[in-house]
Amino acid sequence: MLSLSLNEQNIKNVPRLVIGAPQGRSGKTTFTLGLLRAFARQGMAVQPFKKGPDYIDASWHTAAAGYICRNLDSFFMKRNQICKSIFDQSVEKNITIIEGAMGLYDGLDLEGSSSTAEIAKVTRTPVLFVVDATRMTRSIAAMVMGYQHFDPDVQIVGVVLNKVARVRHEKMAREAIEKFCKIPVVGAIPKDVNLCIPDRHLGLVTKGEFDETDKLLDYFADVISEHVDLDKILTLARSAPELPSCSESIVPNLTAEYSLKNRGLKPKIGIIQDAAFSFYYPENIEALKGLGAEVVPISALSDNQLPDDLDGLYIGGGFPEVFAAKLEENETLRGDIRIAGEKGLPIYAECGGLMYLGRSIRTSSQNFEMVGLLPFDTQMEGRPQGHGYTIMETNPDQSWFKEKAEIKGHEFHNSKVINLAPHVKFGLIVKRGHGIDGQHDGICYKNVFAAYNHIHALGCPEWAEGMMNLAVNYHMSKWAQADKLLS
């Protein structure tokens, strides 16, 4: 096995590859997971990235590699932020693997913005192309050649054949690609019904729901190690040029208004993280910690009360409908959250968190009681009610963001809000996307902000600043009230 000494690695020559494909369902994710685990089992430090707004694949990447997966998305992030994220996370790793999304050139417009190809170009990263070889031999070469020449700034350096039927199938496809496309075939993976992860309406099931995660990842790694040339992949990754300049910090400059060092406070913010609520970008949590927060993990499934002296609560997305019965059973925690919200605790909730704060979640067969802090119910539907990137404009009737600020995010939910009270105030006007009713998102009540919209802290640094400002004010108000009672 080729090895790469970290001491010998040029600090800007990050060995890296983008894993691309002609289309979704080509086998990118299972191949990537097997590759990550195969390298990790050989003692290599491998850094995973996932292109686009994806929580679930990223959690599987983290499990496979043993290092936290990061997302790269040019819709939220500036070019220097993308390159800086790769640099910061990869500088002490042997190899970096970036899994793409959908087809290589699929983006938001004819220019391919926010595509996997754009990430490859922005970061000058070579592409390893995974092709579903079902019912194709020589034609694969024509397809690969088209992808090679479609954009001369995208460098496809190798091909992995997936779902190969037999030896003759592999031989014909391999020879055609290497003759006409002049790039190597570095692997040929046979058809295997076990090379998959169960999925549902939002994609794969989450890692936390699957009891045999490591066993499955090891199986993927066994298949990849047997049928893919790992040494050749390392060589291709080492051929990557220097990363573009990324000297500018990706951490936003903090204004005096949000600089907590001057106030000497360390507010305690609870984050509900469990199998029901697992959709969090690591940068969001890091942004809160970077501003001085003490982050406290909470489970809505097993903790029966909120921690003492919380100054804020963050509830991310996930699958509360899957765990609705267990969430309903934990009546004491639901009551704690409802009372805390009524007392003014700052609470920020995204998608699944929004659903949890409502009165109930309704499935096709049952109705489950939730926190009841906000006046609505959510109903599960058979198809997405909101899906894709979003652009929102902030309303003045909220205290989390500046007025008329543009907030970029994304949504993907099969639930819809029903029985919404008419007096509800919204914090966001939908410019792109669906939100709660096609026009608004971000229900505001006291210090609660609950939206279908997901944000990424690098694209929306004011979110963390707003949460910390509210948490600090809440912390100070508690002490002021305590002093008044003692006086």
The string of pLDDT tens digits covering residues 301-337 is: 999 999 989 999 999 999 999 999 999 999 999 999 9
Q: Is residue 246 among the annotated active site residues?
A: no
The residue ranges of the chain whose pLDDT is under 50 are 1-9, 200-203, 248-258, 260-262
Helix (H, G, I), strand (E, B) or coil at 179: helix
pLDDT at res. 311: 97
Helix (H, G, I), strand (E, B) or coil at 420: coil
Task: Kindly provide the b/e burial profile for residues 376-404, where b requires at least 16 CB atoms within 10 angstroms of the residue's own CB.
Answer: bbbbbeeeebbeebbbbebbeebebbeee
Report residue 288 CA to chain centroid gap: 17
CB 64 within 8 A of CB 19: no
Tell me the C-alpha to C-alpha distance, in Å, between residue 302 and each of 133, 273, 285, 418: 46, 11, 21, 28
User: Among the options 83, 181, 246, 351, which is catalytic?
Assistant: 351
Closest CA to 196 of 26, 23, 28, 30: 30
Query: Position of tokens 């994220």?
Result: 85
* Beta-bridge mates of residue 130: 160
Quote the CA–CA distance of 447 and 292 in Å, as a whole number: 20
Residue ranges of the chain assigned to CATH 3.40.50.300: 16-238
pLDDT at res. 485: 57
Quote the CA–CA distance of 461 and 428 in Å, as a whole number: 17
| Phi, psi angle pair for 419, to nearest 5° | 55, 40
According to CATH, what is the number of the domain 16-238? Answer: 3.40.50.300
Maximum Cα–Cα distance across the chain: 88
pTM value? 0.91
Helix (H, G, I), strand (E, B) or coil at 9: coil
Question: Helices (H) and strands (E) in the chain — how many of each?
Answer: 13, 24
Residue ranges of the chain assigned to CATH 3.40.50.880: 262-483
DSSP secondary structure string for all residues of 281-338: -HHHHHHHHHTT-EEEEE-TTT--SPPTT--EEEE-EE-TTTTHHHHHH-HHHHHHHH
Amino acid code (one letter) for 203: G
pLDDT at res. 397: 80
Quote the CA–CA distance of 200 and 348 in Å, as a whole number: 26
**What is the CB neighbour count within 10 angstroms for residue 147?**
22
pLDDT at res. 404: 93
For residue 261, give both structure tokens.
Answer: 């060092």
Tell me the C-alpha to C-alpha distance, in Å, between residue 141 and each of 153, 173, 174, 183, 185: 20, 7, 9, 10, 11
pLDDT at res. 198: 65
According to CATH, what is the number of the domain 262-483? Answer: 3.40.50.880
For residue 100, give both structure tokens.
Answer: 């793409």
CB 24 within 8 A of CB 104: no
Query: Position of tokens 């060092």?
Result: 261
Tell me the C-alpha to C-alpha distance, in Å, between residue 475 and each of 54, 255, 267, 345: 34, 20, 7, 9
pLDDT at res. 256: 40
Quote the CA–CA distance of 439 and 291 in Å, as a whole number: 32
